[in-house]
């Protein structure tokens, strides 16, 4: 699985933790009234899209993918007229707050920024009791191979060497006492490994 798909899955998993009873899945970034009709069968639900916008090259040889992340939240009226609107706003607000400065557990991601959220108002959907909210943000994700790590660190069998073997160091010195006597002392100076 590529980094972008893995990143999208981490967003999906995070929303599922935020709302355990919500149906959360991915979509390709475009939706129409037929998609909304399908999604309303599973309300409340959220659909997550991660779309790539222009990337930046970095001095490490990696690409900084400026990902445009979009979460569409769909709910519908249940007990009272237009009560789905309040729930949709609440979910939009919670997802936006959760996404703000979140790295979504990905080590190569920067904190989310440029959070935007809104409700989509459309008369036909309103008459059918459907409420749609959208949360959008930008997350930067480093993709590719970091050539600085390959060049500047020691590698062995495809893994970065992070600990080198320790050796025992013995120091022999002469200690002169105040009375002018000489004593030989041996010290074990092997550094302790944490």
Reading the block at residue 46, the tokens are: 């959220």
CA 9 – CA 172 distance, rounded (Å): 60
Average pLDDT in the 19-27 region?
94
Q: Is the pLDDT of residue 27 over 90?
A: yes
pLDDT tens-place string over residues 28-70: 988 888 888 899 888 899 999 999 777 888 888 888 999 999 9
Q: What domains lie within the chain, and their CATH numbers?
A: 3-148 (3.30.2000.10)
- The whole-model pTM stands at 0.75
pLDDT tens-place string over residues 141-190: 999 888 887 777 788 888 888 887 777 776 666 666 666 666 665 556 56
Reading the block at residue 128, the tokens are: 């059918």
């Amino acid at each position: 699985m590529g980094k972008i798909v893995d990143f999208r899955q981490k967003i999906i998993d995070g929303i599922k933790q935020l709302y355990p009873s919500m149906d959360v899945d991915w979509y390709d970034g475009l939706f129409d009234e037929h998609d909304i009709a399908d999604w309303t069968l599973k309300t409340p639900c959220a659909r997550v899209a991660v779309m790539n916008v222009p990337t930046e090259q970095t001095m490490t040889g990696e690409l900084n993918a400026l990902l445009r992340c979009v979460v569409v939240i769909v709910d519908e009226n249940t007990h009272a007229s237009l009560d789905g609107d309040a729930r949709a706003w609440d979910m939009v607000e919670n997802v936006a707050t959760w996404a703000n400065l979140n790295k979504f557990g990905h080590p190569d991601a920067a904190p989310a920024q440029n959070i935007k959220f809104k409700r989509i108002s459309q008369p036909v959907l309103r008459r059918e009791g459907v409420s749609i909210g959208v949360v959008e943000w930008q997350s930067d994700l480093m993709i590719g191979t970091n050539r600085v790590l390959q060049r500047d660190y020691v590698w062995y069998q495809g893994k970065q060497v992070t600990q080198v073997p320790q050796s025992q160091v013995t120091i022999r010195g002469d200690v002169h006492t105040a009375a002018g006597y000489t004593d030989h002392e041996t010290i074990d100076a092997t550094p302790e490994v944490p």
